[in-house]
Amino acid sequence: MADIRTIDEADAQGALAALYRRLADPRGRVANILKVQSLSPATLEAHYALYRALMFGPGPLSRAQRELIAVAVSDVNRCHY
């Protein structure tokens, strides 16, 4: 697996620190799937907005159906997420 440089929560500054505070789980941790985009806070923000729109936005599919599609795609791609 390739190493991807990321910025840890403790080292985040400015816009990234604010974004991390917003995206952190109840224990204050940010998921690695989000951290991989930490070198570009604008990209991270856009990715998260897309995720929210796809998973929670209006549409004909239920949340459960959307999750099932995500799991199937991850399986085909051999992705742990």
CB burial string 10-22: b at 16+ within 10 A, e below:
eebeeebeebbee
Q: What is the pLDDT of residues 36-81, one digit of tens each?
A: 999 999 999 999 999 999 999 999 999 999 999 999 999 999 987 6
pTM value is 0.78
pLDDT > 80? residue 16: yes
pLDDT (mean) for 14-30: 94
Distance from C-alpha of 6 to C-alpha of 26, rounded to nearest angstrom: 21
Please, are residues 74 and 81 in contact by the beta-carbon 8 Å criterion?
yes
CB burial string 31-41: b at 16+ within 10 A, e below:
eeebbebbeeb
pLDDT for the residue 73: 95
pLDDT (mean) for 15-24: 96
Residue 10's identity, in one-letter code, is A
pLDDT (mean) for 20-36: 93
